[in-house]
Amino acid sequence: MSGLVESAAAILSASERRLEVAAHNVANVSTPGYKRKLGFSQIMARAGTAAVEPELAVRNDLAQGKLVSTGNPLDLAISGDGFLAVRAGDRLLYTRQGQFRLAEDGTVVSAQGHVLQQAGGGDLVLQNAAVKILDDGSVLDQGRPIARVGLYSAPAGVALDAVSEAHFAASGTMEEVAEPSIRQGMVESSNVAMGDEMVTMMAAMRQAESGARLVQVYDELMGRALTTLGGTR
């Protein structure tokens, strides 16, 4: 009997987590560069027992979002694979959230204060924001190449772990994208589709109902058992 209750609790917990993931996606539908989180159930064996229970695993959907024109020459959108590298203090993060501005010291920074990195490493420093950035990341100041923005991808064996809504930390060394495609004056919108999230929420609610029915069945069985035991006295 206890296994029935544990299964019901696991189902209810997984459905609650699925709703939380969907709600988080909806909250970030307008966050540039945000990558939708996907929750999927997996059956996990419990250590030392033969019992299994469902558990919700979460991963990021890295599909590209729509590119939107902003008119800001320092806004950068990626068409295809890759991530921009930004320096957050003494660590490197990777993002497709390409909203940047020129700081007082000439560095190109995001809204979070992260500094955009050049290909090969090093802060991107400009004299002014009136630069031309080519598709391959080359930065031209009055027609003269002065730097190049790099795009990076994770090779096999390197994982990307989300550290914020649109930033990732790499578990190993990232590789530079051989054929980058950068769009100046544009940003990539979130890849969240409201219709998909509504479907996910409805499925999670149905899953919760099935867990609740298990609890109801348990209560009914316990009630019958108590009635039977009481009648034998």
pLDDT digits (tens, 9 = 90+) for 157-205: 999 999 988 999 999 999 999 999 999 999 999 999 888 888 887 887 7
C-alpha span between 151 and 117 (Å, rounded): 9
Q: Are residues 74 and 39 in the same domain?
A: no
The whole-number pLDDT of residue 75 equals 97
The whole-number pLDDT of residue 207 equals 73
C-alpha span between 92 and 230 (Å, rounded): 68
The whole-number pLDDT of residue 139 equals 97
What value does the mean pLDDT take over residues 109-125?
95
Structure tokens at 179: 């054929």
What domain range includes position 162? 67-188
- What total of structural domains would you count in the chain? 2
Q: Are residues 146 and 169 in the same domain?
A: yes
The whole-number pLDDT of residue 46 equals 47
Whether the pTM exceeds 0.85: the reply is: no
Contact 66, 188 (CB under 8 A): yes
The yes-or-no verdict on residue 43 having pLDDT over 50 is no
Segment 128-140, tens digit of pLDDT:
999 999 999 999 9
Segment 49-96, tens digit of pLDDT:
444 455 667 888 889 999 999 999 999 999 999 999 999 999 999 999
Q: Are residues 141 and 93 in the same domain?
A: yes
SS3 content of the chain, % helix, strand, coil (to 5): 25, 35, 40
β-pairing verdict for 132-133 and 138-141: antiparallel
The yes-or-no verdict on residue 149 having pLDDT over 90 is yes
What value does the mean pLDDT take over residues 205-232?
68
Q: Are residues 52 and 75 in the same domain?
A: no
Contact 187, 99 (CB under 8 A): yes
C-alpha span between 65 and 165 (Å, rounded): 14
The yes-or-no verdict on residue 48 having pLDDT over 60 is no
Q: Are residues 91 and 155 in the same domain?
A: yes
Q: Are residues 119 and 213 in the same domain?
A: no
Q: Are residues 174 and 151 in the same domain?
A: yes
Q: Are residues 91 and 145 in the same domain?
A: yes
What value does the mean pLDDT take over residues 22-43?
83
Q: Are residues 227 and 135 in the same domain?
A: no
* SS3 at position 158: coil
Percent of residues, the chain, with pLDDT higher than 90: 58
Q: Are residues 121 and 181 in the same domain?
A: yes
C-alpha span between 86 and 118 (Å, rounded): 9
More confident residue, 170 or 38: 170
Q: Are residues 57 and 153 in the same domain?
A: no
Q: Are residues 113 and 165 in the same domain?
A: yes
